[in-house]
Amino acid sequence: MSTHEFRMTMQLRWRDMDRLGHLNQAVYHVLMEDARDGLLAALPLPDEESVSYVLARVELDYRHEVRKEDGEVEVVVRVGRVGSKSLTLENDLLLPDGTLAATGSTILVRWDRETRGAKEISPDERAVLTGAGDASGAGADPR
């Protein structure tokens, strides 16, 4: 298990809401994607130009309603399991008062752009993703 965690605060917009005044279910996925991208960009992955991941699975559990009046949400993503060709990221979506509004996980598969298929996670990537040999917690958002 890694100690890498990334947090970002996102403002809620009128267009993010459904007819009942709740955060639209599709927007949860966009928020998780933005946080995922932020985490991966913050990690010092080797040879960044060739490192690609594709989304293989998303799980999302809605715990508490999110309304426009909440103003913003904080999205938290952390590296969970790192497999031979995939990694699991764990997500939380928090209201301003800290209420857990949603939890989820995503599985990303290491992608080979040339062969258009899954690829082994290199030992160097694994070390970064798991935090092995990285006592500083590099890549984690300091908030």
State pLDDT tens for residues 46-58.
765 567 899 999 9
CA angle 90, 69, 36 (to 5 degrees): 20
28 inside domain: yes
CATH, residue 101: 3.10.129.10
18 inside domain: yes
Q: What is the pLDDT of residues 5-21, one digit of tens each?
A: 999 999 999 999 999 99
The reported pTM is 0.85
94 inside domain: yes
- Count the domains in the chain: 1
81 inside domain: yes
69 inside domain: yes
37 inside domain: yes
Domain that holds residue 76: 5-128
pLDDT of residue 49: 59
111 inside domain: yes
143 inside domain: no
The CA–CA distances, whole Å, from 95 to 2, 42, 43, 100 equal 25, 24, 26, 7
Q: What is the pLDDT of residues 40-89, one digit of tens each?
A: 988 888 765 567 899 999 999 999 999 999 999 999 999 999 999 999 99
